[in-house]
């Protein structure tokens, strides 16, 4: 059995996302995205290996500093400012909020945390396909979203712009921050 072009595209996107290991990608496709037995695991394994091989060959042509490296730097700087900054936080926005709450509960110095910023798996898929990256943000206390949300958003936007990103955001808590023209190249 051979894989459909859509499945091959989904595999390539997950590999290019840069967050999952080979075995985990096979598991995702053979047990989660598709019904068990719907895909031949050997075909999936071969497609995953081919996608990783293609990616490795492309990496030789990448610039020394990629947009993903800049994104890592921005998220690191946000963490130092008291923002829980998570990459690939779950698959949906709801999952991302759950991950933020979990990180907050586990944080050794909760009193220093002022807010959060994250993108989730669906956002990552769009970024891999060249559609930019959307980021959710806000204060840790949901009761303060209207008052403090824009301040957290401004911190996030400032860090992203300092890395050279084209940031689109209306300055309110009602709109997620969008990085246009992000060239997704994660090592």
108-166 pLDDT, tens digit each: 999 999 999 999 999 999 999 999 999 999 999 999 999 999 999 999 999 999 999 99
Q: Which of 13, 42, 59 is the last residue of a domain?
A: 59
User: Quick one: 16 and 93 in the same domain?
Assistant: no
User: Quick one: 167 and 95 in the same domain?
Assistant: yes
User: Quick one: 24 and 114 in the same domain?
Assistant: no
- pTM value is 0.92
Per the structure, the count of domains in the chain is: 2
User: Quick one: 84 and 160 in the same domain?
Assistant: yes
Beta bridge mates, 134: 178
How is 39-68 classified by DSSP, letter by letter?
A: S-HHHHHHHHHHHHHHHHHHHTTS-SS-HH
The domain of 73 spans: 67-180
């Amino acid at each position: 059995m051979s894989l459909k072009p859509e499945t091959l595209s989904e595999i390539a996107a997950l590999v290019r996302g840069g967050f999952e290991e080979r075995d985990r990608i096979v598991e995702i496709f053979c047990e989660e995205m598709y019904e068990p037995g719907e895909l031949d695991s050997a075909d999936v394994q071969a497609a995953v290996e081919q996608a990783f091989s293609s990616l490795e060959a492309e990496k030789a042509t990448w610039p020394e500093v990629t947009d993903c490296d800049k994104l890592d730097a921005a998220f690191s700087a946000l963490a130092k400012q008291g923002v829980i900054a998570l990459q690939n936080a779950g698959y949906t926005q709801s999952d991302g909020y759950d991950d933020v709450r979990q990180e907050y509960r586990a944080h050794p110095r909760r009193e220093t945390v002022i807010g959060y910023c994250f993108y989730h798996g669906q956002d990552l898929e769009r970024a891999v396909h060249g559609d930019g990256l959307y980021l959710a943000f806000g204060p840790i206390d949901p009761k303060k979203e209207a008052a403090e949300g824009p301040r957290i958003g401004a911190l996030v936007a400032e860090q992203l712009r300092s890395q050279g990103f084209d940031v689109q955001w209306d300055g309110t808590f009602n709109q997620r921050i969008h990085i246009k023209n992000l060239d997704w190249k994660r090592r």
